[in-house]
Amino acid sequence: MKDLKEIRDEIDSLDKELVKLFERRMIAVGQVAEYKKKNNIPILNVARERDVIEKNKNYLKNKEYEKEVAEFFECVMEISRGYQSGKLSDCCDDLAKVETQEGCVLNQTANGTALSCTSRENSELSLRVGFQGVPGSFSEQALQEYFGEDTATKNYNQFEDVFIGLKNDEVDFGVLPIENSSTGGISEVYDLLRKYGFFIVGEKNIKVDHNLLGIKGTTLEDIKEVYSHPQAFQQSSEFLKDFPQWKLIPYYNTAKSAEYIKNENSPYMTAISSRKCAQLYDLDIIKENINYNTNNHTKFIIIGKNLDLKEECNKISIILSVPHKVGSLYCILDYFAKNNLNMLKIESRPLLDKSWEYFFYIDFEGNLKNDAVKEAVNIIESHSSYFKLLGNYVKSN
């Protein structure tokens, strides 16, 4: 039997060979990174990593080490992803050298990341912005307060229609609600952000006051049906519980609900909507400010095709998923603490093809032109199973 020194000498000799092989592997990893950068291919390929692990487990003569060899290659590939992230982040370094006023943006698509330039001066001459709903909606209000009341607009029936309109170049930007201070995030919009791969370029907070509207002369005693968006019903639940006999009928949004009852012209039908819609559709306000939270705000995001980095940007939004094992999310969140990134929000959404696994939408403070922030984001990306940068923009008050 070998003594301890002999065993350690053998380990040292094996480690020396491992270092030589590791160096050769990292050279190959660097070549892969250059190819991905040139061809706009994302860093992470989950299927490829799973194949690597299974293939190398099959090389084992002693199957007792299967778990350990899987963990070994998980660590090796995590190191490789981090190295590739550093290589691919060169495009961000190039961006930092370009003056913002020249209109250069970081264009990150579902297929990778690349630097591209557009002329803002020309695009602003004929700006057209899409929103979901009809005139008088809170979305239109957010649009006008962000872009100005003279901005050309196009309204759509559904949230996804706004994304399709942007995809088909019908509009330059879209405005969509993302979160309400009383009822939380709007899950459909989160899912559409991931599906279409567009970017958040700005946000606007709107104070929301809900009112019960009806045609002229309608009283509380007349009402049989109330139309509105489900979120408006939730935000007005304290008021509505006093009228259990009313039938609550979900409709596209608050403004379209007001338009509908105006057209129906029935004293039995009402809508929960805004004061502006009461004026626009010549409706009576039967009961004002019926939302239970008097400090009720909705946050709207502005989406565009390109990621536009400016010095004043102070908020970053990302989507990620983590390996389905103990401590994965904790480790990701720990990187925020270690790198002094102030997290503003985290929202989870289920992965449709994997039970009990989730995407996490995370907002935090920072600017990607800051080297420390950029490095921290690269680290978080390298430790994620899936990662996408949603935007770096100016936080609204």
Residue of 159, 300, 360, 364 marked active site: 300
Sign of the Cα pseudo-torsion (126, 391, 104, 170, in order): negative
| β-pairing verdict for 199-207 and 184-185 | unpaired
Mean pLDDT of 253-272: 95
Q: What is the pLDDT at residue 355?
A: 67
Residue indicated by tokens 């626009």: 280
> Known catalytic residue: 300?
yes
Range in 110-124, 148-162, 195-209 the model is least confident about = 110-124
Q: Which residue has the higher pLDDT, 3 or 315?
A: 315
Rounded-to-integer distance, Cα 265 and Cα 216, Å: 9
Mean pLDDT of 321-345: 85
Encode pLDDT of 181-232 as tens digits: 878 888 899 889 988 989 999 999 998 889 999 999 999 999 999 999 998 9
Rounded-to-integer distance, Cα 164 and Cα 167, Å: 5
Q: Please list the helix, strand and coil fractions of the chain in percent, rounded to the nearest 5, in that order.
A: 45, 25, 30
Model confidence at 33: pLDDT above 90: no
Range in 100-104, 248-252, 290-294, 392-396 the model is least confident about = 100-104
Model confidence at 115: pLDDT above 60: no
Range in 113-117, 303-307, 310-314 the model is least confident about = 113-117
Rounded-to-integer distance, Cα 271 and Cα 213, Å: 5
Model confidence at 99: pLDDT above 50: no
Domain boundaries, the chain: 14-88, 211-287
Highest average pLDDT, of 267-271, 328-332, 355-359, comes from 267-271
Residue of 153, 270, 298, 359 marked active site: 298
Residue in 305, 372, 374, 304 with CA at minimum distance from that of residue 94? 374
Domain 14-88 = CATH 1.20.59 = yes
Encode pLDDT of 67-98 as tens digits: 888 888 877 877 887 777 666 554 444 333 33
Encode pLDDT of 334-368 as tens digits: 888 888 899 999 998 887 666 667 889 999 999 99
Q: What is the pLDDT at residue 133?
A: 85
Strand order in the sheet with 343-350: 343-350, 358-365, 315-321, 386-393
Residue indicated by tokens 């680290």: 379
Q: What is the pLDDT at residue 102?
A: 33
Q: What is the pLDDT at residue 294?
A: 76
> Fold identical between 14-88 and 211-287?
no
CA distances from 146 to 126, 192, 215, 256 (A): 16, 22, 31, 22
Q: Where are the beta strands (DSSP E) in 135-267?
A: 152-156, 173-180, 184-185, 199-207, 211-214, 225-228, 247-250
Sign of the Cα pseudo-torsion (77, 193, 340, 308, in order): positive
* The overall pTM is greater than 0.85: no
- For 153-171, letters b (16+ CB in 10 Å) and e give bebbeebbbbbebbeeeeb
Q: What is the pLDDT at residue 36?
A: 73
What are phi and psi for residue 370, nearest 5 degrees?
A: -80, 125
CA distances from 10 to 5, 61, 170, 242 (A): 9, 20, 68, 80
Residue 368, classed as helix, strand or coil, is: coil
Average pLDDT, the chain: 84
Using 50, 70 and 90 to split pLDDT, how confident is the model at 104? very low
CA distances from 204 to 110, 145, 266 (A): 26, 8, 35
The pLDDT > 70 percentage for the chain reads 86
Rounded-to-integer distance, Cα 373 and Cα 336, Å: 10
Query: What amino acid is encoded at 385 in this protein?
Result: S
Residue 86, classed as helix, strand or coil, is: helix
Using 50, 70 and 90 to split pLDDT, how confident is the model at 121? very low
CATH topology of domain 211-287: D-Maltodextrin-Binding Protein; domain 2 (3.40.190)
